[in-house]
A and B are shown apart, each in its own frame.
Chain A
Amino acid sequence: MNKNKEQLLNKRYKAEQRFRLYGQSAIFMALLFLTIFIFKIFSTGYSAFQKTWLIVPVTFDPELMMLEQNPSKEDIQDADYYDIALKSMADLDLNANEDQENELKRMVSYFFEKEIKNELLNDPNLIGKTKEVYLTASDDLDQVFKGNYPRDLPEDQRRVSDYQLKIFDQLVVNGMVESKFNISFFTNADSREAELAGIASSFMGSIFSILVCLMIAFPVAVLAAIYLEEFAPKNRFTDFIEVNINNLAAVPSIVFGLLGLGVLLAIFQLPRSTPLVGGITLSLMTLPTIIIAARASLKAVPPSIREAALAMGASRMQTTMHHTVPLSMPGTLSGTIIGLAQALGETAPLILIGMVAFVNTIPGSPMDPAASLPVQIYIWAESAERGFVEKVSACIMVLLGFLITMNLFAQIIRHKFEKKWS
């Protein structure tokens, strides 16, 4: 009898130990995957925050620029920079033939003419003088400098020729190649050229979409939740609504995209590819999430608080607005932020309503065409150029940073404003 009991006790302890082990290994697995994922993203993405520049001496020859003596600001603006730009690249190898000069030109971005022009606009005194100007290296050379380029491939399988590599190596030895923080990644809109592509358009697009989504989804969802939880009679009809809200939360997001396409674009004729339409579509998706969170936090307010207010002679409306809703707000807000974070990462519905279009302008309002961060990731991930590989990871890092900030904010709200009642 006694022995039996001891065995039973041992068994119970063993079971508990096993259970602990299962739990620990599950957590270990989760952490492992997370670490691998983050390591992968960071190791490919961090180099996108650096940009390679070629430091090329440029002679601002007024004759080549077709400038008169004492040119005005407008003259400088309208001057021809192509020739001096071309010449300064060709001068890197004085013995170059025509083909090689072309190859030299392709060592920098097609933007190089503009970069030289900006230099002169900043300092008009440079006319007739020579200055070392920073020119954006082409995406392939950028990758070469970062060590991501397979130089050992046979030449016909590379986009960088042996000649370009030779010149580039010389420039490196002469200290004419420099790597600096990639500001243009944050200030440029998308571009077909990897070295010029940035996230400004998609970042602003995401922000505008989220704002539109918040402004529509939050009030509607909170009012719906308050009505359903505090005022609506409990009958079959409200049960039916409740079931359907839960169903709505489980609808695949692409279906909402189709809805946006069919209703907002086709029937209401709203402008295509805009954060306005994207935000409205996302708000449809976020609504059930916020309603569910708001109802849960309204339910969590102890009934004793409602009774106290009602017994004081507060009307139902006063009880709700003075006590229940303020107490439920922290939960509602953090639910809202989590819903918005979900919406922020949503890709499929935005692709359907046309936010996947190539946008090389930065939107100034929700009515301007824009991309969004996840869609930008999708667009770049599809691109063949090697330069976009690191951009994809970098964009994921920005998106993750955005999401983590939002979730952190939700946590802070929850902890700071949640009232304790005993």
Chain B
Amino acid sequence: MKKNGVKMIKIKAKDVDVFYGKKQALFNISLDIEENQVTALIGPSGCGKSTFLRCLNRMNDVIDICSVKGEILINDFNINDKSCDVVRLREKIGMVFQKPNPFPKTLYENVSYGPTIHGMAQSKQEMDEIVETSLKKAALWEEVKDRLHEPGTGLSGGQQQRLCIARAISVRPEVILMDEPCSALDPIATAQIEELIDELKKEHTIIIVTHSMAQAARVSQNTGFFHLGQLIEHGSTDKIFKNPDNKKTQDYITGRFG
């Protein structure tokens, strides 16, 4: 989105290095992510794109041996700073995982979990509303409105993933991170999710890691290409796919490796 012709930067990564024990997984990544746009991160397996994504909501904290260096500014605030509270951070930055991972609870409990722990609803009615709007935004409401109190694990794969998206947007995050959200889904479910992503970018900044270049081309406005832990090139999706500056990007896009 442009304001007065200037692109608004939501996330600014500066010289990010990530280590798994002694092994360095990311080298010196600097990347700006624009607000209310979809940014796709592409690259061959093991290139570090998921690792980078997990830096943005500090999910790497969970891994004992993982350490992150450098600055990641979200709204000009460094999330790697000691003063950053991960609970608050993750409230603002939602995440959707590769494999649908609904809680083994009811649909309603799945969606209401975030608002409950963050105290976002004062009454049952308010909570009902949050659940309904979240499910509507995730384009799941019509399919499940009659069985909100059945287990979320009983849904199909595509529905489960949309449930996870509904869960992520229930706390109205500013940013949604998606880690290959369609890799476990069939083409029809994939198309539904892609449509949804397009809709969600009106209110959220979206960063999506994907293996499918076609998907990156379809859904994203900006693309970053990772290779062996380095950010080779990033820019508008149009440019990356049609006229990349770097030979490696060219080779990957055209399917010469990866």
**Residues on A close to B: CB < 8 A?**
233-234, 302, 304-315, 318, 322-323, 327, 419-422
Instruction: Across the interface, name the chain A residue whose C-beta is closest to B98.
Output: A304
Q: How far is the CA of A327 from the CA of B153 in the complex (A)?
A: 14
Instruction: Across the interface, name the chain A residue whose C-beta is closest to B92.
Output: A313
Q: A310, B164: Cβ atoms under 8 Å? A: no
Q: How far is the CA of A195 from the CA of B130 in the complex (A)?
A: 72
Residues of B within 8 A of A315 (CB): 87
Q: How far is the CA of A305 from the CA of B168 in the complex (A)?
A: 14
Q: How far is the CA of A420 from the CA of B151 in the complex (A)?
A: 10
A322: min CB distance to chain B, Å: 8
Contact partner, A305, options B57, B90, B101, B151, Cβ 8 Å: B101
- Other 15 A-B pairs with CB < 8 A, given A313-B88, A313-B117, A419-B104: A233-B64, A302-B101, A305-B101, A308-B97, A308-B102, A309-B103, A310-B90, A311-B97, A312-B94, A314-B87, A314-B113, A327-B104, A419-B153, A420-B153, A421-B104
A108: min CB distance to chain B, Å: 65
Instruction: Across the interface, name the chain A residue whose C-beta is closest to B94.
Output: A311
Residues of A within 8 A of B202 (CB): none
Q: B97, A312: Cβ atoms under 8 Å? A: no
Residues of A within 8 A of B103 (CB): 305, 308-309, 323
Residues of B within 8 A of A305 (CB): 101, 103-104
Q: A313, B153: Cβ atoms under 8 Å? A: no
Residues of B within 8 A of A313 (CB): 87-91, 114, 117-118, 171
Q: B167, A310: Cβ atoms under 8 Å? A: no
A414: min CB distance to chain B, Å: 15
Q: How far is the CA of A306 from the CA of B91 in the complex (A)?
A: 15
Residues of B within 8 A of A308 (CB): 97, 101-103, 164, 167
Residues of A within 8 A of B57 (CB): 311
Interface string of B149-164 (1 = CB under 8 A from A): 0010100000010001
Instruction: Across the interface, name the chain A residue whose C-beta is closest to B109.
Output: A322
B198: min CB distance to chain A, Å: 22
Q: How far is the CA of A302 from the CA of B102 in the complex (A)?
A: 11
Q: How far is the CA of A306 from the CA of B90 in the complex (A)?
A: 14
Interface string of B79-109 (1 = CB under 8 A from A): 0000000011111001101010111100000
Q: How far is the CA of A313 from the CA of B171 in the complex (A)?
A: 10
A313: min CB distance to chain B, Å: 4
Contact partner, B104, options A306, A312, A314, A420, Cβ 8 Å: A420
Q: B153, A422: Cβ atoms under 8 Å? A: yes
Q: B114, A312: Cβ atoms under 8 Å? A: yes
Instruction: Across the interface, name the chain A residue whose C-beta is closest to B160.
Output: A422
Q: How far is the CA of A154 from the CA of B198 in the complex (A)?
A: 102
Residue from A314, A318, A327, A419 having most chain B Cβ neighbours under 10 A: A314
Residues of B within 8 A of A327 (CB): 104
Q: How far is the CA of A309 from the CA of B89 in the complex (A)?
A: 14
Residues of B within 8 A of A421 (CB): 104, 153
Q: A310, B113: Cβ atoms under 8 Å? A: no
B58: min CB distance to chain A, Å: 9
Q: Say yes or no: is B188 at the interface (Cβ < 8 Å to chain A).
A: no
Interface string of B215-253 (1 = CB under 8 A from A): 000000000000000000000000000000000000000
Contact partner, A314, options B62, B64, B88, B117, Cβ 8 Å: B117
Q: How far is the CA of A311 from the CA of B113 in the complex (A)?
A: 12
Residues of A within 8 A of B151 (CB): 419
Residues of B within 8 A of A323 (CB): 103
Instruction: Across the interface, name the chain B residue whose C-beta is closest to A327.
Output: B104
Residue from A302, A307, A313, A419 having most chain B Cβ neighbours under 10 A: A313
Q: Say yes or no: is B191 at the interface (Cβ < 8 Å to chain A).
A: no
Instruction: Across the interface, name the chain B residue whose C-beta is closest to A311.
Output: B95
Q: How far is the CA of A422 from the CA of B154 in the complex (A)?
A: 9
Q: How far is the CA of A313 from the CA of B57 in the complex (A)?
A: 10
Residues of A within 8 A of B101 (CB): 302, 304-305, 307-308
Residues of A within 8 A of B90 (CB): 310-313
Q: How far is the CA of A1 from the CA of B95 in the complex (A)?
A: 58
A327: min CB distance to chain B, Å: 7
B90: min CB distance to chain A, Å: 4
Contact partner, A307, options B87, B97, B167, B168, Cβ 8 Å: B97
Q: Say yes or no: is B59 at the interface (Cβ < 8 Å to chain A).
A: yes
Which B residues between 17 and 47 are near A, CB-CB below 8 angstroms?
Answer: none
B184: min CB distance to chain A, Å: 10
Residues of B within 8 A of A309 (CB): 103, 113
A311-B118 in contact given A305-B103, A422-B153 (Cβ < 8 Å): no
B249: min CB distance to chain A, Å: 30
Q: A307, B99: Cβ atoms under 8 Å? A: no
Residues of B within 8 A of A233 (CB): 64
Contact partner, A312, options B64, B99, B153, B167, Cβ 8 Å: B167
Instruction: Across the interface, name the chain A residue whose C-beta is closest to B170.
Output: A312
Q: How far is the CA of A306 from the CA of B104 in the complex (A)?
A: 12
Residues of A within 8 A of B59 (CB): 307, 310-311
Q: How far is the CA of A318 from the CA of B62 in the complex (A)?
A: 15
Q: How far is the CA of A422 from the CA of B158 in the complex (A)?
A: 13
A332: min CB distance to chain B, Å: 16
Q: A310, B117: Cβ atoms under 8 Å? A: no
Interface string of B50-63 (1 = CB under 8 A from A): 00000001010010
Residues of A within 8 A of B88 (CB): 313
Q: How far is the CA of A234 from the CA of B151 in the complex (A)?
A: 34
Residues of A within 8 A of B102 (CB): 308
Q: How far is the CA of A323 from the CA of B113 in the complex (A)?
A: 11
Residues of B within 8 A of A306 (CB): 62
